[in-house]
Chain A
């Protein structure tokens, strides 16, 4: 009895699926989905090699400091870094005094419960990076986690920063209506090709690196990408440093346990 019900239920589900399949196939033939401009022109991130890559990756502190400088002087005009606190910067190799000095340059808003006012105070090492007020077009995302929040991670940020170009004539040939809207900028690494952010890194020497590295656009883009990999995962190096001994121990323990197993089962055919 149960098998009759079962077969009836099976026919019900399979018939409904065939119905959907047939309809879907019919419309796929008669009305095939048109290729979109995004599908044709969107590009995957370029290659970017960072010191933090791979299972032995560690942060290059000098590069992180350069990237931090690019963030401070360029990105921070529009993008917040709310998950990061100034004291975290010690991990980049700054000492206490340098961290305090960096924090003191910022104005951090705080609510005063006695007066009811929101007043800014000079940043302290314990403060997080303050929120950024932005009134222009688009919504600049918080950058704290951006390299974990996009496919491609640091390579995506690097590609985006160096990927601005004129809209290809071929695109307009295929999609005459797809002209870049006013105020947006063509960038094939951005998800829908048109990004509100104007090219932030415009020319060599936009920042002056303290360590003498030449500040080319490519170099600045690499450095700030490396910095944002750090802001998203400050414990990355520690993960790698902890991971190897853990795996080493587990390998040893596994081999030992395997030998114990072989020993115990030695006389037992199975």
Chain B
């Protein structure tokens, strides 16, 4: 791999990794509190993109407003999912909660199929076109097929830079919320001990609802950035990124927000690099994500940044 390619791949990996991180944070926050793998999280991601798409194409709102609508819609959806599906079964066995999550995921996908049809839609033209441009460093000008073009050089999509900056900013805000507000303190308390927190006069259900809303809003932002980068949307688009983000969350140590970010970045960069260095193994790409996970878990069962769980008898 040439140096140019290496830089290109690295930046790509970091930007995909930051998208994984944005989704993974939602997984990890919910898991930290409820010990629930929220399988529907990837579908919230998908729904947010559809909200954004229809806000622009059907209601012709400006794109920046559509982002706000989509993120708010995702937050509301996450909150509703918790209220309708998860709250009634808080005390049921954990496996029932997990299966319910799978059911909710099915439901959202089927709903999207019925409402938006199962055919892939184009996300191009929803956002201003400069987001699809490239920054080219170096390279030489040549004439190819009657056009002046630049050959070679290091090429970085504008959206890559925007993704990395947005993710950093959003995570900074999240960190402020979790560690420097009362609600954030309540969230951390709930994640440690629900009964005690509720004895302290905290409305646990509201805090859980808020966690869902916050996590879903992040997934919504991730979804929109994802769709700008890969401009197609369809009802099953949340599945694979959802699984990958979940792997990232476990990789980093589930329950830890910082871990989710680290896990996302590692996964994103490794995925691209493996294909970059060994192109013939590209068909096994998704297997590598799982293989990395299994290796990390067998060496450090609580993930890279996770705290070791001590079970009291």
On whether the two chains bind one another, the answer is no
